[in-house]
Amino acid sequence: MTINEYQKLAHSFAKYGDELYPVLGLAEEAGEVAGKVAKHLRAKGKLNWDSDPELTKAISKELGDVLWMVAEIATVYGLELEDVMEENIAKLTDRRTRGVINGSGDNR
């Protein structure tokens, strides 16, 4: 499945009235990813991704929810995820070329 195919299929599950929903949902789902990691750190004292398949599975499920919200935000704004991804890689490549990949600010 391509990312644009995913985006179209994911949108077929959309059941919300306000276009703000996926933006707020993204914050919530990203928080759930962070929460899984935080709880793991509290319980284990450190992260060891390779030896904790339960954490990996939980993160995968939450990232799926994050991806759905991102796809919906793109759809609401008339964007295709493939274009968003290509633009992001072009931006990162430019920053790396100019030696500002570790800097801060949107327009570095």
pLDDT in tens, 6-17: 999 999 999 999
Instruction: Tell me which of 74 and 43 has the higher pLDDT.
Output: 74
Q: Where are the alpha helices (DSSP H) in 3-80?
A: 3-11, 21-44, 53-76
CA gap 97, 72 in Å, rounded = 32
Considering only CA atoms, which of 14, 1, 23, 3 is closest in space to residue 83? Answer: 3
What per-residue confidence (pLDDT) applies to 107? 78
pLDDT in tens, 30-71: 999 999 999 988 988 887 767 788 889 999 999 999 999 999
pLDDT in tens, 79-102: 999 999 999 999 999 999 999 988
